[in-house]
Amino acid sequence: MSEMLYWQALNRAMDAEMAADETVLTLGEDVGLYGGTYRVTEGLMAKYGEWRVRDTPISENSFTGLGVGAAMLGLRPVVEIMTINFALFAMDAIVNMAAKIPFMSGGQFPMPLTIRMPGGVAKQLGAQHSQRLEHMLMNVPGLRIVVPATPQDAYWQLRQAIRSDDPILVLEHELLYFSKGDVDEATLAPPIHQAVARRRGRDITCIAYSRMLPLALQAAETLAAEGIELTVIDPRSLSPIDWDTCVRAVEQTHRCLIVEEDCRFAGAGAEFAATLQERCFYLLDAPIQRVAGMDIPTPFNGTLEAASIPRGEHIVQAARQMMAQQ
Amino acid sequence: MDKAQMAAMLRDMLRARAFEEAAAQAYAQGHIAGFLHLYPGEEAVAVGVLHAAEPGDYVVSTYREHVHALVRGIPARQIMAELHGKKTGVSGGMGGSMHLFDRSRRFLGGYAIVGETFPIALGAGYAVAYRRLPEAVICFFGDGAINQGTFHESLNMAALWKLPIFFVCENNHYQIGTEIHRHSAITEVYKRACGYGIPAEKVDGMDVVAVHKAAKRALDRVRAGDGPQFLELETYRYRGHSMADPGSYRPAAELNAYQANDPIAAAVHVAEHPYPSADAIAAAGADCVTRFTDHCCEGGHLDDAAVERMRREIQEEVADAVAFAEQSDAPNMDDAWKAFHRNRRFETLMETAQ
């Protein structure tokens, strides 16, 4: 067990898998000599050489497609797309190729492809660099999506993604790269898709992923001081979703609050709310609520930017209102 | 080229023609549904190129790929069954006409989005180079695909890293209904490869011997580690883009409108973009199959009786494939889920709510 930053955990996970399996390689813009824009691939080129750590031209569709083709021949590529915003150029490779080839071939071709993408709202990067696109990708059968919120999960979920024969998207958050936490590299982690309770409380189940998780945990502390106790569930995976863990938590609290940084309309929160009301309707004491990003392109101005996405106080207010609805 | 090889190539050209005509018939009878893009006219391309390929090579193809699959060695039965959406199809009925895959024959699929064969070939080529194997990846595409970004992106990376890829352009002059002069600033496709420093040449795609020779030359270089090679083959499809396309490209309504409102514009339109008549096609050059049959017979490689025997055997093979496809079972939803989850062998996942 050692303490490290989120990016360091990813870096160590890459190193561990590349050392263990010579079919693992990584490619993307500036992953080699430069070491990765968030340092995730730092040091790997020197250690493994340019065929295993490949700097690519700015050609997202084709280098992501390269990952698909190489995976069909049995390699285990880890494609880094510098930010999720650029993945829009690679949607054909992700949606039409990676997600469909295993199925269209009648199962003949596994797709041991991992695609890492930083995203989310960081600090005044403008509308084109401040997106959360998980909802678009969740709607594509054949893709799996993980959203590690802690260094521990970043480490293990990346390793598990590389070992999987399904295409897995690892959505990293730009503001989490320098968050710190303990990483146990020796003990095998829970299954990659399994949701975990980060905190237990009797009143409300709060489902929060990626950077919204630390916000929800902070809000839970504030609320606890007022006597409102939250269970905080980190789904860790957005496709598939570990419904059983979510349902069990809601069955105990009878209330559910979903927090997502993504825009509210047709977002991940809508899927959580729809399915959980289908499964838990008669146990609910209040309508399922969502705290989500505004349905607006992210403004550049810092004050407006902060106002367009959930803050801790929004979670606190929403929880208080839910408890007041008796 | 020896007699046996000539005969084998002619046989595959005749098989290709017969297979596609049988598919067209099955489509007309309602036994095949969806899109169906047929190959008649272009047989010299698939046969010339794939007879120069070795079993260790990989093939990436487009949505007009039945003949590539057939010549690559996938049994006619399995291809026809896939066209019929049956469980016995080469992709288990999950792919269809445009998505034939055969792992054992290194057939990496038919792709239905124009321009997708480039990055797939790029990845396959990367994997071959990564393992330092003397294998080649054959990447088919049409003239319409050269305007996709992936063409340029992939050619650049293939040349940059000297990947073992053989780019084969089946230039049939039409991207569905738009003639190449109207879709490409440079109509000699091979010249575009020069922008990436990839050796390229253009060969008559109606001449199977010339195609085979050029393909062999290129594949030898690819396998020797000389990096990607590029071949443009000028060819022609006799049918429309798909079975849904009569191939006229001048709807009566459009023509009437031009004639009624602006006869000059209509005249210019017709003059600039004529769709060739059957006579014009015949005048442009002999059908590649007829031409090669004549060539084989004139050269003393084959005689009429041998060709007749070949045709009969092929008719039987194709009829058998159609009967097999018709009699095969359809897949059920369980088969679909199985195909979908086949690669989750090391993991147990909790499935979605229902």
On whether both A173 and A226 belong to a single domain, the answer is no
pLDDT for position A82: 97
Kindly list the distances between the CA atom of residue B158 and the CA atoms of A86, A110, B57, B153, B222, in Å, as whole numbers in the listed order: 22, 24, 16, 9, 11
Confidence of residue B291 (pLDDT cuts 50, 70, 90): confident
Confidence of residue B296 (pLDDT cuts 50, 70, 90): confident
Confidence of residue A252 (pLDDT cuts 50, 70, 90): very high
pLDDT for position A280: 97
End-to-end, the C-alpha distance of chain A in Å comes to: 45
On whether both A93 and A153 belong to a single domain, the answer is yes
Residue A189 lies in a domain: no
On whether both A73 and A94 belong to a single domain, the answer is yes
Confidence of residue B333 (pLDDT cuts 50, 70, 90): very high
- Pick from A143, A249, A154: which is nearest to A195 by CA? A249
Domain termination site, one of A158, A183, A208? A183
* Chain A with chain B: Cβ pairs closer than 8 A: 173
CATH number for A302: 3.40.50.920
Q: A228 lies in which domain range?
A: 196-324
For chain B, the average pLDDT equals 88
pLDDT per residue as tens digits for the range B235-252: 988 888 888 887 777 445
- For residue A158, is pLDDT > 50? yes
On whether both A168 and A216 belong to a single domain, the answer is no
Q: Is A325 left (phi over 0), alpha (psi -120 to 50) or beta?
A: beta
pLDDT for position B279: 60
Q: Which residue in the block uniquely carries the two structure tokens 């009429």?
A: B304
Q: What average pLDDT does this structure show over A218-230?
A: 98
Whether residue B149 and residue A111 make contact (CB cut-off 8 A), yes or no, is no
The residue that leads in pLDDT, B348 or A208, is A208
- For residue B314, is pLDDT > 60? yes
Distance from CA of A180 to the nearest CA of B (A): 29
Confidence of residue B193 (pLDDT cuts 50, 70, 90): very high
pLDDT per residue as tens digits for the range A12-23: 999 999 999 999
Q: What average pLDDT does this structure show over A311-323?
A: 97
Whether residue A241 and residue B352 make contact (CB cut-off 8 A), yes or no, is yes
pLDDT per residue as tens digits for the range A182-199: 999 998 788 999 999 999
Residue A254 appears among annotated catalytic residues: no
Pick B342's closest partner by Cβ from A67, A107, A240. A107
The residue that leads in pLDDT, B132 or B258, is B132
Domain termination site, one of A138, A160, A183? A183
Q: What average pLDDT does this structure show over A243-248?
A: 96
Instruction: Give per-residue burial for B208-235: e unless 16+ CB within 10 Å, then b.
Output: bbebbebbbebbebbbeeebbbbbbbbb
Whether residue B347 and residue A67 make contact (CB cut-off 8 A), yes or no, is no
Residue type at B106 in one-letter notation: R
Confidence of residue B3 (pLDDT cuts 50, 70, 90): confident
pLDDT for position B309: 92
A277 at B interface, C-beta within 8 A: no
On whether both A31 and A63 belong to a single domain, the answer is yes
Residue A108 DSSP one-character state: -
- For residue A139, is pLDDT > 60? yes
Interface of A with B in 13-72 (CB under 8 A): 25, 51, 54, 56-57, 59, 61-72
On whether both A244 and A218 belong to a single domain, the answer is yes
Alpha helices in chain B (DSSP H): 3-28, 43-50, 66-72, 76-83, 117-130, 149-160, 180-183, 190-194, 208-223, 252-261, 263-272, 278-284, 288-298, 304-327, 333-341
pLDDT for position B4: 87
Cβ-in-10-Å burial (0-12, 13-18, 19+) of B279 comes to: exposed
pLDDT for position B278: 55
Whether residue A73 and residue B123 make contact (CB cut-off 8 A), yes or no, is yes
On whether both A131 and A80 belong to a single domain, the answer is yes
Q: What average pLDDT does this structure show over B173-179?
A: 91
pLDDT for position B255: 38
State both tokens at B260.
Answer: 């009624």
Residue A123 lies in a domain: yes
Residue A191 lies in a domain: no
Residue A30 DSSP one-character state: T
Residue type at A140 in one-letter notation: V
On whether both A275 and A221 belong to a single domain, the answer is yes
Pick A61's closest partner by Cβ from B92, B126, B149. B149
- For residue B259, is pLDDT > 60? no
Q: What average pLDDT does this structure show over A74-97?
A: 97
Distance from CA of A312 to the nearest CA of B (A): 30
Whether residue B123 and residue A109 make contact (CB cut-off 8 A), yes or no, is no
On whether both A235 and A179 belong to a single domain, the answer is no
pLDDT for position B343: 80
Domain termination site, one of A137, A154, A183? A183
Taking a C-beta distance cutoff of 8 angstroms, is the pair A114, A165 a contact?
A: no
pLDDT for position B208: 92
Distance from CA of A215 to the nearest CA of B (A): 27
Residue A190 lies in a domain: no
Taking a C-beta distance cutoff of 8 angstroms, is the pair A208, A269 a contact?
A: no
On whether both A135 and A64 belong to a single domain, the answer is yes
Whether residue B119 and residue A57 make contact (CB cut-off 8 A), yes or no, is no
pLDDT for position B262: 43
Whether residue B343 and residue A102 make contact (CB cut-off 8 A), yes or no, is yes
Confidence of residue B345 (pLDDT cuts 50, 70, 90): low
Active-site entry in A42, A129, A229, A254: A129
CATH class of B3-341: alpha beta
pLDDT for position B267: 35
Taking a C-beta distance cutoff of 8 angstroms, is the pair A1, A152 a contact?
A: no
Interface of B with A in 104-133 (CB under 8 A): 108-109, 111, 113, 116, 118-130
Distance from CA of A81 to the nearest CA of B (A): 15
Q: What average pLDDT does this structure show over B296-300?
A: 79
pLDDT per residue as tens digits for the range B45-102: 999 999 999 999 999 999 999 999 999 999 999 999 999 999 999 999 999 999 999 9
Residue B342 CB neighbours (<10 A): 18
Confidence of residue A42 (pLDDT cuts 50, 70, 90): very high
* DSSP per-residue letters across B57-106: SEEEE-SS-HHHHHHHT--HHHHHHHHTT-TTSTTTTSS-TT---BGGGT
CATH number for A7: 3.40.50.970
B144 at A interface, C-beta within 8 A: no
Residue B262 CB neighbours (<10 A): 12
pLDDT per residue as tens digits for the range B214-230: 999 999 999 999 999 99
Q: What average pLDDT does this structure show over B260-272?
A: 40
pLDDT for position B348: 55
Active-site entry in A3, A29, A42, A60: A60
Boundaries of every domain in chain B: 3-341
Strand partners, A80: A28, A116
How many angstroms from the chain centroid is the CA of residue A147?
2
Whether residue A69 and residue B343 make contact (CB cut-off 8 A), yes or no, is no
Confidence of residue B280 (pLDDT cuts 50, 70, 90): low
pLDDT per residue as tens digits for the range A264-309: 999 999 999 999 999 999 999 999 999 999 999 999 999 999 999 9
pLDDT for position B282: 57
Residue A260 lies in a domain: yes
Q: Give the Cα separation of A222 and A216 in Å (integer).
A: 10
Residue A129 appears among annotated catalytic residues: yes
pLDDT for position A183: 97
Q: Give the Cα separation of A86 and A109 in Å (integer).
A: 27
In this prediction, what percent of chain B has a pLDDT beyond 90? 72
State both tokens at B325.
Answer: 């496809």
Pick A109's closest partner by Cβ from B92, B101, B150. B101
**Chain A residues close to B93, C-beta within 8 Å:** 106
Q: Give the Cα separation of A247 and B243 in Å (integer).
A: 50
Q: Give the Cα separation of B31 and B21 in Å (integer).
A: 14
- Following CA atoms A269, A166, A78, B136 in sequence, which dihedral angle do they give, to the nearest 10 degrees? -140
Domain count, chain A: 2
pLDDT for position B284: 54
- For residue B300, is pLDDT > 80? no
Q: Which residue in the block uniquely carries the two structure tokens 């106080």?
A: A313
pLDDT for position B270: 37
Whether residue B95 and residue A105 make contact (CB cut-off 8 A), yes or no, is yes
pLDDT for position A189: 86
- For residue A113, is pLDDT > 90? yes
On whether both A240 and A317 belong to a single domain, the answer is yes
Quote the ipTM score: 0.95
Distance from CA of A62 to the nearest CA of B (A): 5
A248 at B interface, C-beta within 8 A: no
